[in-house]
Amino acid sequence: MEYILIKVLEAMATFVLAFIVGMTYGGVVRKITGRVHNRLGPPWYQNFIDAFKLFSKTRGIHHGAMHFLGAAFLMVTSVVSLMIIPILAPGGHAWYNSWFTNLNFNGDLIFLIYIMTFGPLGMAMGAGQTGNPNSSIGVTRGLSQMVGFEIPWVMALVALMITYKTTSIVDFMNIQRETGTWLMFANPFAFIAAVLAMLGMFRYSPFDIVGAPTELASGPVSENGGKFLFTMMSSGSVFTFAKLVLYVDLFMGGANNLIMLVVKTFLLYMIPVLYGIVSPRYRTEQAVRWFWGWPTFIGLLAILYAVMF
């Protein structure tokens, strides 16, 4: 019983950590975007204020049960994938070693690929129930794009799985620790393919087709305000952090302590952000075809590389 209690507390701590880091990243991204725009930009904690403001909205509307459940589904994905992904690398400082293990021995990459699609699907249903055409169009765009980037992403993962004969994230981290080589150097093609897929995963420009304001008036979240938007925003922050940690774990050897974790994830996060600042948006079919072009080719190279070497 105590064990479970500690586990639950640890899970909550992980969640809070991810929330704080994700939200801060959001604010920092806005700040950086502002600086590129030749302006000051909001303070780094602006996202916290926004979230709290949304949380303390006094009145709102809903369109039915799925409207509630959509946001909850989204949260399930974020939190459960966060639980499955090891936050800190094993074999670091003994004191850290037991931190944030959560459920990370209970799932693997294939599980993660599937649980990561759970939220968007639930969110899509929440968006569908609002009856707003913009929401539905945004959803179809998002799902199409998901099919697009999933291919190079899976290719990169399969390349890793072939080489190291495992699908477990913890095993990958152990391998990197034992060999001393980050997987981004061991199979650079896989890393490139995964990063290109990441551009789609984070939905920054040019792949921000889901909620494109000038086209769809913010798409699936059109009808969400107040607590719904708060939940989605938090979920988005947590999910961002989870995905970044996953990349760090897989390709950059994980992190031995929280500072390294923040540094590595932030560097990784800057790739989609900075690319997004200077890119217009693709149309949906252009985005999907883009993912099936070079990224898929590089993914094939990664598999070839994995098979040959």
Partner 1 sequence: MYNDKNSKKIVETIQNWARSHSIWVLAYGTGCGAIEISPTMTSRYDAERLGFRGAATPRQADVMLITGYLTVKTVKRVVRVYEQMQSPKYVVGFGSCTINGGMYYDSYNTINLLDRYLPVDVYINGCMPRPEAVLAGLSKLQQIIREGNANGAEKYLENLAWYKENQRKIAPNWIAKAPDLNW
Partner 2 sequence: MREKATTIYLGPQHPGITGNMMVRLKVIGDTIVSAQTEVGYLHRAFEKLQERRNWLQGFTLMCRFCVPESDPMENVYARSVEAIDGREVPERGKYIRVMVLELARIATQLMWYAGQNGSLGLYTMGQWSIGDRDYILDLFEELTGGRVYHMYQWPGGVRRDLPEGFTDKVLRTLDYLEKRLKDYDDLMFANSIFQKRTQGVGIVPKENIIEHGVVGPVLRGAGIRSDIRIDEPYEVYDKLDFEIPTQEGSDIWARALVRRAEVHQSIRIIRQVIDQMPSGEYFNKFPNPLKWIVPAGDAYVRVESGRGEVGFYAVSDGTIHPRRMHLRGAAYVHAITLLESILPGQNIADVSAIMNSLGTCAPEIER
Partner 3 sequence: MLTLILLLFLGGAIVTWLGNKLSPVVGDLLFLATIIIPAGMFFTGVTVGEVTHLHALGLTLTWGLTPLSYLFSMIVVGLGILLAIYAVPFMKGKQKTGAFYFNFTLSVMSMLGILVSKDWVSFFIFWEIMTWSSYLMVVLNGKDVQRVGIKYFVFSAIGAYAMLMAMVIMNSQLGSFLLADTFNNFQHLTTGNQILIPILLLVAFGVKSAMMPLHVWAPDAYSNAPMAYTGLFSGALSKMGIYGMVLVMVTMINQLPEGTLIRDIIAWIGGFTAAAATLWAITQDDGKKLLAWSSVGQMGYIIVGVAIGTPLAMLAAMFLVVVHAMFKGSLFMVVGAIEKQTGTTNFTEINGLIRKMPWTFISALISVIALAGIPPLAGFVSKWMLYEALIQNNNYILVILLFFASTAGFLYCYKFLHGYFLGQEEPEWAHVKEAPVAMVIPMVLLALGNFVLGTFPQLIFKPIDAAMQFAGYDATGGRLWGESVLFTEWGDVVTLQPILYAVLAVFVFFALFLWFKGTKGTRYVSTKDISTSGELPKEWENLTFKVNFMQPFERAIEPFLKRQIDKYYTAFGNGMEALFEFTRRIHTGNGQTYAIYAILFLALLLLFRVNLFG
Q: Which residues within the stretch 108-147 sit at the binding site for partner 3 (CB under 8 A)?
A: 108, 110-111, 113-115, 117-118, 121, 124-125, 128-133, 136-137, 139-141, 143-144, 146-147
Q: For the chain, how many residues are written? A: 309
Only one residue has tokens 């800057």, namely: 270
Over the window 192 to 221, marking each residue x when it contacts partner 2 by CB under 8 A and - when it does not, the resulting string is -------------xx-xx--xxxxxx----
Q: 1 CB contacts (<8 Å, ≥6 apart)?
A: none
Over the window 14 to 33, marking each residue x when it contacts partner 1 by CB under 8 A and - when it does not, the resulting string is ----------------x---
Cβ proximity of 183 and 160 under 8 Å: yes
156 binds, among partner 1, partner 3, partner 2, none (CB under 5 to 8 A by kind): none
Segment near partner 3 (CB under 8 A); pick from 19-27, 56-64, 178-186, 269-277: 56-64
The one among 8, 9, 56, 293 contacting partner 1 by CB under 8 A:
56
Q: Using CB under 8 A, count the residues that bind partner 2.
A: 28
Q: How far apart are CA 155 and CA 220, in angstroms?
A: 29
Cβ proximity of 155 and 302 under 8 Å: yes
Q: What minimum distance in Å lies between the beta carbon of 280 and partner 2?
A: 4
Q: How far apart are CA 266 and CA 231, in angstroms?
A: 23
Cβ proximity of 166 and 309 under 8 Å: no
Note whether 32 binds partner 3 by CB under 8 A: no
Q: How far apart are CA 144 and CA 285, in angstroms?
A: 8
Q: Which residues within the stretch 185-214 sit at the binding site for partner 3 (CB under 8 A)?
A: none
